[in-house]
Structure formats: C-alpha cells, structure tokens
Amino acid sequence: MQDLQTLIEKSVSQLGYELVDLEISNRGKLLRVFIDKQNPADSKDSVNIDDCVLVSNQLGNLLAVEHEIDYDRLEVSSPGMDRVLKKESDYLRFIGERVSIKLRVGIKDEGPNATETTLPRKTFLGLIKGLEDGHLMLDFEGITYKMALSNIDKARLNPVF
C-alpha cells in the first residue's frame, strides 16, 4: 500500500497536483485518488474535470506498466469542500477554517459544562488556530485545545454555507 501511495504521489506531483487521499476498496479492485492543485491561484482555483482526466490518464498508463498492481477501476476526483486533512501542510493551509476532528484517544474536556466526572472528549468541531510543535491548536466553544497530530484519527473541513 505504501509503495502504491508513493508511486501515485510522485506521478501526481509531477503533473502539478497534490495527492490528498488514496482509498483502496472492494478487495483492492477500486482505487480512488483525490487530488488538489499544488499552487492554486486563489480559493476559487479548484480541481476541475479536465484536471481529473489528465491525472486519470497518467495514472492509468503508469499502473498499466506496473504489472504487480491489480485493480479493475480507477476514480480520480477533487477532495471536495469537506476535504480530509492528513498532513501538517493541510492544517497550515486551512488556518481559520472550521474543521471536524475525531481523536484516537480522548482528551480532557475543558468546556463550561465539564465536571470532574466528564469523560474525555474525542470529537470536536471548531476553528483551526494554528500548529505548535506537532500539535493542532483548535478553538472549540471559545476554548483553545491543543491536540497532538498523531492522536487525530480523522479530520475534515466543515464549511459553513
């Protein structure tokens, strides 16, 4: 899996895109590749259908040459408005944006309704304030929580419409 991700990431970046996520499902027969532009001109400069076709054709040719990779279907798309955040650079890029976070191990709830018996909190919906020494600074209900990036199980942007 790591070799496949490295191979795809290298190929995608040579075309000027960033590999946001890679999903393998249906017993490895379906590859889903989520891409974004490496250097978007502005917030409206997002991935379009032509970008997906270009990357899909490139990856199709690449994977045809790599005979040990067995798949039936390849899907290439944009990460969407509720994109996943995985890398440190993702969190830096979206400072000030609203994000939904699920932790592997809960942390102490410091909210106004928390008591000594309140269970550790694992889910948060707040604003990214920044990064500090491998920790995400998140404003949740007016309180800034510091959570280790290594403890984040899932993180997605949660845009307001």
pLDDT of residue 131: 95
- What range defines the domain where residue 104 resides? 88-157
Q: Please tell me which residue, 53 or 120, carries the higher pLDDT value.
A: 53
> H/E element holding 93?
helix 88-93
pLDDT of residue 113: 76
Asked if residue 82 is part of any domain, the answer here is: no
Say what the pTM is: 0.82
Contact 19, 33 (CB under 8 A): yes
In this structure, the strands spanning 135-140 and 143-148 are antiparallel
pLDDT of residue 84: 95
Please state, in angstroms and rounded to a whole number, the distance separating the CA atoms of residues 76 and 18: 12
Helices (H), 19-68: 49-65
Is the same domain home to 8 and 73? Answer: yes
Is the same domain home to 65 and 101? Answer: no
Count the domains in the chain. Answer: 2
pLDDT at 67 over 70: no
Going by the DSSP 8-state scheme, the letter that residue 69 receives in this structure is -
pLDDT band, very low/low/confident/very high, at 36 (cuts 50, 70, 90):
very high
| Number of residues in the chain | 161
pLDDT of residue 99: 98
